[in-house]
Amino acid sequence: MVTIKCHECDKELNISNDSIKGEIVTCPDCGSDFEIVSIENDKVELKPAEKVGEDWGE
């Protein structure tokens, strides 16, 4: 398990060892979503997850 701080509220996020690049992680405190950019050994890089709007078929 790798621990990293939330970019929004500084709460510690626990990233499991079987997580993969592109996976979305949600902070349990503030609810912010982050995408795993890279995960190597004990180092994880996160970026804010893109919000996808509704597609109404337009």
Concatenated DSSP letters for 18-36?
T--TT-EEE-TTT--EEEE
Percentage above 70 pLDDT, the chain: 90
- Is residue 9 within 8 Å of residue 29, measured between CB atoms? yes
Quote the CA–CA distance of 20 and 55 in Å, as a whole number.
27
Answering whether pTM is above 0.95, one says no
Longest dimension (CA), the chain: 44
Q: 2-48 adopts what CATH topology?
A: Rubrerythrin, domain 2 (2.20.28)
pLDDT given for residue 41 in this prediction: 79
pLDDT tens-digit series, residues 1-47: 899 999 999 999 999 888 999 999 999 999 999 999 998 878 899 99
* The token pair that represents 16 in the structure block: 């499991």
